[in-house]
Amino acid sequence: MPVYNAPLRDLRFVYNELFDGSNLQQLPGYEDASPDLVDAVLEEAGRFCENELLPLNQLGDQEGCRFEEGRVLVPGGFKPAYDAYYENGYGALTAPTEYGGQGLPKTLGFMVEEILCSTNMAFAMYPGLTDGACRAIEAFGSEALKATYLPHMIDGSWSGVMCLTEAHCGTDLGLLRTKAEAGENDSWRISGSKIFISAGEHEMSDNIIYLVLARAPDAPEGIKGISLFLVPKFQVGADGTPGERNGVSCGSIEHKMGIHGNSTCVMNFDQATGYLVGTLHKGMAAMFVMMNAARLGVGMQGLGLGEVAYQNAVNYARERLQGRALKGAAFPDRPADPLMVHPDVRRMLLTMRAYTEGNRALSIWVARALDTASHATDEQQRQDADAFVALMTPIVKAFMTDCGSEIANTALQVYGGHGYIREWGMEQFVRDARITQIYEGANGVQALDLVGRKLPEKMGRNLRPFFHEVAAYLEQKSHDDRAELQPLIMGLAKAFGRLQTVTGWIALQGLKNPEEAAGASSDYLRLFALVALGYLWLRMAEVALEQRTGDEARFYQAKLDTARFFFERLLPQTGSLMAAILSGCGSMMDFNPEAF
């Protein structure tokens, strides 16, 4: 079985040293979120996930979910783990206090979510989707809906999912056919089928709350005519308890490449009673609250899988004897040296490490902005933080899941043939990671969102918080004469210059020909992400350089050494990405489609 130890020391480093965690306590509502409290929650979460969820991960993958006469049965052990998860308060961690939540920072929630996804991604999806549904209801639901549903969803007795995709339309939701007809007492009758509904049916909770996109009879065509409805699996009585079954049923479950422990369902709605969430014909605004939360959550899945795959690859490289070091036997008393002595193995391990630790810093940076956007008293701070989150959401989703899949595959490569065998657990990480690049908007769609919406939105306002912060930091560092930081400062300055160049090019060319911006989008997203990680790695190196003494000298030296690897071996990708972008889309779009 794979091993895992929650990366508590690195989480503390990012939370407390890279970003001063005590700053969050200054935000209204977060006064109790002391670093000591955060540390205690992380320790307990690590213990719970390592002891309760990790042992279920391979078992859940092998057993999978079963569909029997309309019922979906989850793998053995999932229901007790689900109950323990909510009994320990993890489902209520960041939820609003007025509905039974603990009201702690979203930053803490992100860190716990990473640990959850490392130990059992399929399980983590059940409470993760409920949390996203709660956020949409909280933001757009009526007071009656919030009072009726949120307390039960936050305590885990009820769960929640979103229902978007239909068999004939995935990303293009303007084509959806699910219908909504006005019913009695402000209710609606929902009819249609949805596919690929994660956690769509199970018996771990007493009720499941579906957030369903549908179209009313008088709705405009396309995406502007979509509304969002709350549809409970069981009708809720006047006393707030589940009653008779609603017109909702599971038609089948999908047979998937990975995440076998999560029930991915075809859900049928037959005159099901539902309730409008938000404004009629404006459902996408409400759904995007849940979808954007899900996109950030999927990014955390990529990070979590990357971390656990890296940890196991390191263990294997230390223990597996294979060949001799090129300079001569490193361990002459053994029949062979461990894999760790070989340069290419070290290249793979350091690549995994640099991306994982960089992405962890990126995720916490974005999470802190979420907290600022929702709790800061200064309106400009809130606006800047909101713009930053909007800009970074497609980057977190796409880049961190690309990295998760790359890292899982690279970790399998470290194992060689053993990685391809089920009992080692690595091939499950590869299969589980693959879906993260597809759902909640495929990564190509995230790239289009970045260049087509987030860049031009509000005359480029979304870019300012990121560009201004990096530019100001580089200006400050231009006077830093510390020899160990100089190559890193110069490397970031060059990469940032490339990002500025291609951003201007995309803005200009996109006005002339939108296919130019679209053709550059995926390369641009990766270039942007690498610059963001470069900025964070430079800051982490600076902290480590100042602290590289005492009992934890090895920890801080490893930070400096990983930063050096990132700047020498990974950040230079920005040069080739810029060249590819500036070449234009001609070689793609001029190609004769009949020749494919």
Q: Which residues are part of the catalytic machinery?
A: 440
CA–CA dist 178, 587 (Å, integer):
40
- What contacts 258, CB < 8 A, 6 or more positions away? 61, 428, 430, 431, 432, 433, 434, 435
φ, ψ (nearest 5 deg) of residue 175 = -90, 0
Nearest to 433 by CA among 251, 296, 546, 304: 304
Residue 23 in tokens: 């700053």
CA–CA dist 115, 120 (Å, integer):
9
| Helix or strand run (H / E) with residue 98 | none
Amino acid 155 reads: D
Nearest to 188 by CA among 287, 276, 285, 281: 276
CA 459-461-466 angle, to 5 degrees, is 140
Residues in the chain: 596
Residue 226 in tokens: 């979509």
CA–CA dist 486, 459 (Å, integer):
35
| Helix or strand run (H / E) with residue 192 | strand 187-198
CA–CA dist 588, 83 (Å, integer):
52
CA–CA dist 110, 129 (Å, integer):
14
| Helix or strand run (H / E) with residue 302 | helix 283-319
